[in-house]
Structures are given as C-alpha cells and as structure tokens.
Amino acid sequence: MKILVGIKRVVDYNVRIRVKPDGSGVDTDGVKMSINPFDEIALEEALRIKEAGKAEEVIVVSIGGDECQQQLRTGLAMGADRAIQIQTDQALQPLAAAKALLKIVQQEQPGLVLLGKQAIDDDNNQTGQMLAALWGRPQATFASQVVLEDGTATVTREVDAGLETIAVDLPAVVTSDLRLNEPRFVKLPEIMKAKRKPLDVQPLADLGIESGHQLSVTRHAPPAQRARGVMVESAAELVSELKNRGLL
C-alpha cells in the first residue's frame, strides 16, 4: 500500500509574523520557512505506519514554486521514499489545491491519503474534506489516533464534546490533529541521503487544473495592540472600573 502525504510550505510557527506596510500581505523576506506543523504530523504518522509493516511506500507532495523543494527534501529526510512537486508560482486556494492533489492521487492510487487538518497561514481547514469529496472516498478529520487493519482505518478524532471513534474503508482521506504524534528530529545523515531520493516535478498546467481564485483577500492587518492593564486596590474599585467600560 502507498501512503500519499500532502505538505505545505509556510512561515515557521516560531516566527513573529509581520504585515507589509501597505497591507498587501505578509512580509516573508529573510523569514524562516518550514513544513506546516499539522502536515509534519501527518508525515510522521505515515512513516510510523510504514515502519509497522502496513505500507510499502510513503510519497510526499507539495504545491508551489521551486522553493517548496526545500520542504519536500525535509520530508524525504524524515523518511519518505519519493517526492512530487506540483509546480506553480500562484498560491492555490483549497478547491484548486484539492483538484491538483486529486490528479496525483489518480496517478499513484494510494491506499491512504494523510493531510494536516489545516495550514497555519490561512487556517482554512478545507483541502482534506474537498479532496475526499472529489475522490468519492471516506474521510476522517482531526485524527488523534489512526489504526489500520483489514482494509479499514479506525480513527479517534477530536470533536467539541471530546473524542469520537469511527471506522472508514480504505482508500480514505485522514487529516491529522496536534496530538496524533510528535514528529521525529531529522539528523544530518538523513538530510544527505534525501538529496539522492527522487523528486518529480509536474507543472500545474500539465494536470489541467485552473488556478483561478474563488475568494479574494482585500487587505491584511496585524492584530490590534492590547491596552495596558489597570491596577485596582479593591473589589469595589474593580466593579466601578468595569461599569465605566460598559462591561457590567
């Protein structure tokens, strides 16, 4: 069985985001870029499934310009067998990304597709669900545990009321949540080996996918600065201050 893992290049989660002065986007000059954390968790789970003998190959795929090859090489260094880059200079919205991933799914015929539940740059939480719908296969989102057995995936997923366990027939799409696992640390020898692993580049145009946007972003703005706190001497003064601010 093959496992296909989608990964996205995003600003590293440790970096403080800076909005461009004209509000046209986020400043990424000189900023560290990494694999989206939820996608990294999805890749780690795919590698653990392979190491348990329940899969034969793990393939990582990313959509973007040649700069995303850095994240694909990181995925190969973690242990993936092959990498595929869907080459485009445009940022795809979820539906177009799902259609592009579907083309790779149809080429590779994986038994399982693992994605992060969302990307930390846009927080859309849509691509996995759209891919499952387009593919016509079951989905299990927000996974905190995945067990494969007898052609099914038993997935424990995090919901508002707690935990829910469902079983889906394979092939299926599973999206990872934060507590699914802790990704491994990549060592230098694995980084060197990753340079010799195959990386296939497929232009988006060759897949017959249009990158037209369904949504438009008009402006970016940083969060409003928090007002300084006020020290009060008594409960009565606190109540008075809250009333003055219209909070009581």
Domain ranges of the chain: 2-244
Tell whether the model's pLDDT for residue 84 goes beyond 90: yes
User: What are the b/e assignments for 102-136, b being 16+ CB within 10 Å?
Assistant: bbbbeebebbbbbbbbbbbbeeebbbbbbbbeebe
Percentage of the chain lying above the pLDDT 90 cut: 72
CA distance 80 to 58: 5
CA 159 to chain centre: 18
**pLDDT top residue among 57 and 246:** 57
Residue 91, CA distances (Å) to 51, 86, 179, 211 in order: 34, 12, 28, 8
Tell whether the model's pLDDT for residue 29 goes beyond 90: no
123-156: pLDDT as tens digits: 899 999 999 999 999 999 999 999 999 899 999 9
Nearest alpha carbon to residue 144 among 174, 169, 122, 120? 174
Q: Are 146 and 155 in contact (CB under 8 A)?
A: yes
CA distance 132 to 49: 20
How much is the pLDDT for 220?
Answer: 87
User: What are the b/e assignments for 62-96, b being 16+ CB within 10 Å?
Assistant: bbbeeebbebbbbbbbbbbbbbbbbbbeebbbbbb
Is beta strand 9-11 parallel, antiparallel or unpaired with respect to 112-116? unpaired
171-196: pLDDT as tens digits: 999 999 999 999 999 989 999 999 99
Residue 238, H or E segment: helix 235-244
Confidence tier at 68 by pLDDT (50, 70, 90): very high
Q: What is the mean pLDDT of the chain?
A: 92
Confidence tier at 52 by pLDDT (50, 70, 90): very high
Residue 87, H or E segment: strand 82-87
Q: Are 48 and 159 in contact (CB under 8 A)?
A: no
**pLDDT top residue among 230 and 48:** 48
CA distance 16 to 18: 7
How much is the pLDDT for 175?
Answer: 96
Tell whether the model's pLDDT for residue 225 goes beyond 90: no
107-125: pLDDT as tens digits: 999 999 999 999 998 889 9
CA distance 234 to 111: 64
Q: Report the 10 Å Cβ neighbour count for 155.
A: 25
How much is the pLDDT for 30?
Answer: 86
Q: What is the CATH number of domain 2-244?
A: 3.40.50.620
